[in-house]
Structure 1
Amino acid sequence: MTWEQRWHPLREEWVIVAAHRNSRPWAGETVEGGAKAVPDYVASCPLCPGNVRVSGARNPDYRGVYVFDNDMPCVGPDAPRELERPAGFYRNAAAEGIARVVCYAPRHDLTLAELRRDQVVALLETWQAQYRELGGRPEVEHVLMFENKGEVVGVSNPHPHCQIYATNFVFKTIANEAAVARRFWDDHRRTMMEEIVAAEESDGRRIIARRGSALAFVPYFARYAYETFVTPRRPCASLADLSAAEVDDFAAVLHEVVIRFDNLWRAPFPYVMALHQAPTDGRTHDGFHFHIEFHPPLRKPNLLKYLAGPEIGGGSFLSDTAPEEKAAELRAVSPILYKHEAERTTHG
C-alpha cells in the first residue's frame, strides 16, 4: 500500500497518491466502454461540410482545418456592459470575448489519433495563427484552447473539433500558473518546466514519447490516471513561438500520445486537453513555458475518477493510481493505431 503526498509545483498544492485504492471493490456507477460505429458524414451534424448550423449559416465544403465563430458562445463581443449591481460586497463584470470552433477534418468519424501526421501539423499551425490573431487584439487578455473528447466529459458530437475562448480576462488556472512561473523565473532564471523536464528525464519511468525538441510524460505529481504533459524542450510562452521544425517534433509527440491513449483499451479514449499558453494581456510573463495537458477522466475502461470529499470538500486531489504504473501501461502499447495495425494485417 502507498500513502504519499506529492507536491504539484505548477498549482502549488499537494496531491495524495494512494494507488492501492484503484483495485478496491466497486459497486457504484460505471460507464459504457468500447468503440461505437461512427459514420464519416452525418446530415444533421453542424460541423460536417455543407451542413447548416444552428445560426442558419452553412458550412463550406471544407477539406482541411475549418474555423468558425461559435453559434452558442459562452462569451461574446456584445456582452452587456451595463449589468445589475449585485448586493453587498459581491462583484460582477461583462464576460466579453470571442468563442470559436476548430474542426480538425471534414470527416465525422476521425479522432485526433486517426488523423495523418501532416493533418496534425496543419492543426498546430492553425492554433498558432489563431493565438497570434486573437491574442493580438487589445481587448483579449487570454486565448484558451481546449478539446473535450468523449461522452463521459459531456461531448455529444464526436466530430473531431476543439474550441477557443479569447476573453477579456485570464482563466484562473493560467493566471495562477503565470504567477508561479514568474516567481520561479525571478529566483532561478530558468523556467519551472525546464526543471520538471530535467527531473522526468533523470527518472525516466514516466516518459511516454520523445522526439527532438519535444517530449511527453505522465508527471510525477499527476492528479488523474493517465494525465499527460506534452511540452517543447525550449522555453516558449506559446505554441506560436515554435519554429516549423519544432512544430513538426511537437506534432509527432502529440500524435503518438493520443494514439497510445486509443490503443490502451482499443477504443476512442476520452480526455480534456488544454493548451497552457501565456496570457496576452500586455504584461510580461517571464518563465511561462507553453505545454499541453491531458486530463483523462477514466481510471479503468469503465470507471470514472470521481471528485468527492477530498477534492471538493478538502481541496486536495486524491489519486487512485501511481503515475509510474500508468506511464508504463502507455509505453507498453504500440505507437501505431490499433485500427491501422488491423488494416495492415488484413491487407498484408
Structure 2
Amino acid sequence: MSSFDLAEHPHRRYNPLSGEWVLVSPHRAKRPWQGQQEDVQKDARPEYDPTCYLCPTNTRANGEQNPDYPSTYVFENDFGALQASTPEGSYTKNSLLRAESERGICKVICFSPRHDLTLPDMEVADIRKVVDLWEREYLELSKIDFINHVQIFENKGAVMGCSNPHPHGQIWAQSSVPAGPARETKMQQEYFEANGLSLLQDYLELELEENQRIVYSNEHFVALVPFWAVWPFETMLLPRRHIRHLGEMTEEEKDAFADAIKKLTKVYDQLFNVSFPYSAGIHQMPTDGEEHTGWHLHMHFYPPLLRSASVKKFMVGYEMLGDPQRDITPETSAGRLRSLV
C-alpha cells in the first residue's frame, strides 16, 4: 500500500478554532479547472441611484433621510433583527421547549457614498476609513452593559442574501455570545492557558513556515486559505501580532489591514472575472467584561463559488447529515488565488 498523501487520498482535517472536522476528497478533483468558463455580464451601476435607500440624501423606508455623507456612514438598522427595547423573559415547557428573550442593536455601515463601488474597487485610504469606523463602533458598543458580543460582517452579492448592491456591511451587537464565537473563545483560551501563546499566533507561524496556503502578506497581516477550510475559496485574514480586538491595533496595523482587504477582495474578483460574492466577518473578543487573554482577532471570508461564476458550492446530503466535505484541497485553492495577486 502506498504511503498517505494529503494531495491524493481522502482524509479529515481538524479545525482547532471550532473543534470540528472537514472531509477532504482530493481524488475527486484531479482536473478541477477543466469546467466551463463562461463570460459574465458586468453589473453596470451608476455612481448615484435615486432609488437606493443607502445613497446620500435619499429617504429610507422609515422616512428618515440620509445625510450627504462624503465617506462612510453608519445608522441603526430600520429593520434590525435585534432590538434594544426587548423585555426580559423566557419560555420553558418540560425542559425540551425553551426560549429566552434577546436584546441587541443592529447597525448598517455604508462603506462609500458611491453606489457603483465594492471594497476591491475602493482606494486603500478609503477602506482604512471603514476600518476606523469598525473600530469605533466595536469600542462604543462594548461599553453598553447588555452587549456581550459585537459581530461585524458583510454579505456581498445577491447569492449571499444581499438585498442592496450599494457597498455596505452590518453590525449585530447582542446580549449573548453566538455559538461560533463561543466555541472559538473556549478553544483559544484553553490553548493559551496550556501553551502561553495564542492558538492563531502559533498556527500562523506554521503556515508561514510551510508557505503552501498563503495568498498574500504584508508587514502586519497575512491572508491564507485555512488548513481546515470548508468553502472552496475560503480565506482568513490574520494579524501577525497577537491582537484581541480592533481597538488594540496600531495605526500602521490598521493601514495594513485595509491593504490586505483590498488585495484579497481584488483577487477574488479576478478569479472568475466577476464581482465575487461572499460573506465575511471579523471575529474578536467578546465584550462581556472578561479579559479573554487567548483571543486573537481574525477575519473570515466564505465565498460560495466553486468552479466558475455560475457553479456554486452548497451544503447538501452528507454535509447536512454528517460533516462538511470538499474536493479541491486548500493548497490548490491557495495556489490559484496566489497566482492572481
**TM-score, length-scaled by structure 1:** 0.90
Once residues 294 and 238 of structure 1 are traced to their aligned partners in structure 2, the CA distance between those partners, rounded to angstroms, is 18
Q: Give the aligned partner of residue 327 of structure 2.
A: 320
Once residues 192 and 17 of structure 1 are traced to their aligned partners in structure 2, the CA distance between those partners, rounded to angstroms, is 23
Q: Give the aligned partner of residue 230 of structure 1.
A: 237
2:266 to 250, 259, 271: 259
Once residues 89 and 175 of structure 2 are traced to their aligned partners in structure 1, the CA distance between those partners, rounded to angstroms, is 16
Once residues 93 and 32 of structure 1 are traced to their aligned partners in structure 2, the CA distance between those partners, rounded to angstroms, is 49
Once residues 86 and 245 of structure 1 are traced to their aligned partners in structure 2, the CA distance between those partners, rounded to angstroms, is 50
Q: Give the aligned partner of residue 306 of structure 1.
A: 314
Once residues 175 and 190 of structure 2 are traced to their aligned partners in structure 1, the CA distance between those partners, rounded to angstroms, is 24
Q: Give the aligned partner of residue 113 of structure 1.
A: 120
Cα distance 1:44–1:200, how it changes in 2: closer, same or farther (>3 A)? same
SS at match of 2:99: coil
**TM-score, length-scaled by structure 2:** 0.92
**Structure 2: segments with no counterpart, 5+ residues:** 1-7, 33-37
Q: CA offsets, 1:1-41, max 9 Å, x none?
A: 5311111111111111113435799xxxxx99543222222
Across the aligned residues of Structure 1 and Structure 2, the Cα RMSD in angstroms comes to 1.7
Q: Give the aligned partner of residue 102 of structure 1.
A: 109
Matched, 1:15 2:22: yes
In 2, are the aligned partners of 1:143 and 1:166 still within 8 Å (CA)? Answer: yes
Q: CA offsets, 1:280-313, max 9 Å, x none?
A: 0112212110010101111122111111122211
Once residues 102 and 17 of structure 2 are traced to their aligned partners in structure 1, the CA distance between those partners, rounded to angstroms, is 26
In 1, are the aligned partners of 2:220 and 2:253 still within 8 Å (CA)? Answer: yes
Matched, 1:181 2:191: no
Displacement of 1:325 after TM fit?
0.8
Displacement of 1:99 after TM fit?
0.3
Once residues 87 and 294 of structure 2 are traced to their aligned partners in structure 1, the CA distance between those partners, rounded to angstroms, is 35
More displaced stretch, 210-219 vs 12-21:
12-21
Q: Give the aligned partner of residue 339 of structure 1.
A: none
Displacement of 1:114 after TM fit?
0.4
Once residues 321 and 135 of structure 1 are traced to their aligned partners in structure 2, the CA distance between those partners, rounded to angstroms, is 39
Displacement of 1:101 after TM fit?
0.2
Q: CA offsets, 1:116-175, max 9 Å, x none?
A: 010011110110100000011111000000000111111121100000011011111001
In 2, are the aligned partners of 1:215 and 1:250 still within 8 Å (CA)? Answer: no
Number of positions where the alignment pairs a residue of Structure 1 with one of Structure 2: 327
Q: Give the aligned partner of residue 88 of structure 1.
A: 94
Q: Which amino acid aligns with 1:311?
A: E
Q: Which amino acid aligns with 2:275?
A: P
Cα distance 1:317–1:294, how it changes in 2: closer, same or farther (>3 A)? same
In 2, are the aligned partners of 1:216 and 1:231 still within 8 Å (CA)? Answer: yes
Q: Give the aligned partner of residue 338 of structure 2.
A: 331
**Structure 1: segments with no counterpart, 5+ residues:** 26-30, 336-348
Displacement of 1:87 after TM fit?
2.6
2:249 to 242, 249, 258: 242
Displacement of 1:81 after TM fit?
2.8
Q: Give the aligned partner of residue 294 of structure 2.
A: 287
Q: CA offsets, 1:250-272, max 9 Å, x none?
A: 21112110111111122100101
Once residues 104 and 265 of structure 2 are traced to their aligned partners in structure 1, the CA distance between those partners, rounded to angstroms, is 30
Cα distance 1:312–1:33, how it changes in 2: closer, same or farther (>3 A)? farther
Q: Give the aligned partner of residue 76 of structure 2.
A: 69
Cα distance 1:33–1:80, how it changes in 2: closer, same or farther (>3 A)? farther
In 1, are the aligned partners of 2:304 and 2:313 still within 8 Å (CA)? Answer: yes
Q: Which amino acid aligns with 1:87?
A: K
Q: Which amino acid aligns with 2:157?
A: G
Once residues 334 and 132 of structure 2 are traced to their aligned partners in structure 1, the CA distance between those partners, rounded to angstroms, is 28
- Following TM superposition, the consecutive aligned residue runs of length 4 or more in structure 1 with deviations greater than 6 angstroms are none
SS at match of 1:298: coil
In 1, are the aligned partners of 2:220 and 2:257 still within 8 Å (CA)? Answer: yes
